Amino acid sequence: MAKGKSTTVFFCQSCGYESVKWMGQCPGCRQWNTFVEESVLTKSKETGGKKTGGLKSRPSALSEISLEEEDRITTRMQELDRVLGGGLVKGSLILVGGDPGIGKSTLLLQVCRNLAGDGREVLYVSGEESLKQIKIRANRIGEFNEHLKLLCETSLPAVEETIRNVKPDIVVIDSIQTMYHEGISSAPGSVSQVRESTGTFLQLAKGLNISIFIVGHVTKEGTVAGPRVLEHMVDTVLYFEGDRHASYRILRGVKNRFGSTNEIGVFEMEASGLREVMNPSEFMLSGKPEETSGSIVVCSIEGTRPMLIEIQALVCHSNFGIPRRQTIGTDFNRVNLLIAVLEKRLGMSLGNCDAYVNIAGGIKIQEPAVDLGIAMALASSFKNRIIDSKLIAIGEVGLSGEVRGVSMIQARVQEAKKLGFTACVIPYVCMESVKEIKGIKIIGVKTVADAIAYL
């Protein structure tokens, strides 16, 4: 590109791939018809050029850097603090993504209330709702003090100026897709606009040492608009997920420069905003049916926390040539594999049966440690035998039907004990690690067949 010339570039609206010419299919993400022509802001290019020439940064010794700067601010929401890696880091940029209506604005308004309650200056910038609409929401949530300031604005330079003038400690931008810079001809929410806005907020966060939350809506493909562009620029990416029709919400860390990822925070949406769910296992198991076949409790590790989850399976005679297999909340291929293991290693003729597996509560689990539970639920439904409702199953299943060891077995068994379970089926190889745990019957199994013998 010639320097100083105003240019137009084509951006893939799905992944942010940049190209000088239009293309039907994006080479980056293989989506069709996603390229849109956008003009690039020449101003930022000029300053960008100058900066690299005249930047005066000195290298510093790692041992001389003090960690005081990275002090954490508590949001007074334990669930959120944990996902953030122990609180909010000053000068960090946090992206909160999620489907529309999932509760992003509600969560952040509650965070603002807590932080303002601690005497910090908070600025909530809304490009989506009017002051009155925010007030109506705030009334449902509770009391707010004068440290929280609201601003309804979509113009990026205006927001930037306000932040520089007000000098708040925490800023919330709701949402990044509504922010608009006049210097860029493309529409709000397009890749260039989102990239420009995020870049501006990144500079503000680092320059003024303030924490900025940005809300990003997720497109129907399941990613934040201009997603990769956004995700690599920010320090932390949190996704707020959950079934809109169920009341609980899960906040998941996807990227975190200041803590572990894959931590989750569990919330419940109530009439007065989001409530933290401190004991997700209890919550996930509420409403579990007693005395029915095909239902078993398993323990999955979510981040650093064990969580008990109910697995339901339904196996019934198929009326069609090709049996139906369906899974909700767990990996489809994994379930097919377990069905094959049951068929081959245990001689269960599931070939002419429909099989459905559901993770109750709508949560998604990927961990292989739930394999044994899924296999036992399938077998229980197939044989129509009830599994003891006080029994939990932990273990990974291999192709030859062996039950393999899993990590963090003690934490899992302790969690089961805490919630009143009386028996625990675990991999035989893990027996040694849990021999000190008393008050719960531990059954070590070597194969799926051994486990199913307990039904």
Which CB, 35 or 239, lies closer to ligand TYD? 239
101 or 207: CB nearest ligand TYD? 101
In the complex, minimum distance from the CB of residue 163 to ligand TYD, in angstroms, rounded to a whole number: 21
Q: How far is the CB of 104 from Mg ion (least distance, A)?
A: 5
Q: Residue length, the chain?
A: 455
The helix/strand/coil state of 430 is helix
Per-residue b or e along 412-436, where b marks 16 or more CB atoms closer than 10 Å to that residue's CB: bbbbbbebebeebbbbbbbeeebee
Residue 73's H or E segment, with its range, is strand 72-73
Taking CB within 5 to 8 Å according to partner kind, which of Mg ion, ligand TYD, none is near residue 102? ligand TYD
Task: Provide CB contacts within 8 A for 200, sequence distance 6+.
Answer: 156, 160
When the beta carbons of 216 and 306 are compared against Mg ion, the nearer one is 216
3-state secondary structure of 158: helix
125-144 binders of ligand TYD (CB under 6 A):
137, 140
451: contact with ligand TYD by CB under 6 A: no
Report the C-alpha gap between 380 and 387 in whole angstroms.
7
Tokens of 380: 């229980």
Nearest approach in angstroms of CB 339 to Mg ion is 42
Task: Decide which of ligand TYD, Mg ion, none touches 45; Cβ closer than 5 to 8 Å per partner kind.
Answer: none
Residue (of 24, 177, 168, 190) closest to 90 by Cα position? 168
* Among the listed residues 77, 83, 94, 102, the single contact to ligand TYD using CB under 6 A: 102
Kindly tell me the sign of the dihedral angle through the C-alpha atoms of 184, 185, 188, 192: negative
Q: Which helix (H) or strand (E) holds 82?
A: helix 78-83
Contact positions vs Mg ion (CB under 5 A)? 105
**Partner touching 252 among ligand TYD, Mg ion, none, CB below 5 to 8 Å by kind:** none
Within 8 A by CB and 6+ apart from 60, the residues are none
Give which of ligand TYD, Mg ion, none residue 100 binds (C-beta under 5 to 8 Å, depending on kind). ligand TYD
Query: Using CB under 6 A as the criterion, what x/- string covers residues 395-434 for binding ligand TYD?
Result: ----------------------------------------
What does 406 bind: Mg ion, ligand TYD, none (CB cut-off 5 to 8 Å by kind)? none
Choose, by CB under 6 A, the member of 34, 75, 92, 105 that binds ligand TYD.
105
Question: Residues 242-271: x/- map of binding to ligand TYD (CB under 6 A)?
Answer: ---------------------------x-x
Q: Which stretch binds ligand TYD (CB under 6 A): 23-31, 93-101, 154-162, 260-268?
A: 93-101
Q: Is 97 a residue that touches ligand TYD (CB under 6 A)? A: no
Residue 442: phi, psi to the nearest 5? -110, 130
Question: What are the b/e assignments for 201-235, b being 16+ CB within 10 Å?
Answer: bbebbeebebbbbbbbbbbeeebbbbbbbbbebbb
Q: What is the binding site for ligand TYD (CB under 6 A)?
A: 98, 100-106, 137, 140, 269, 271-273
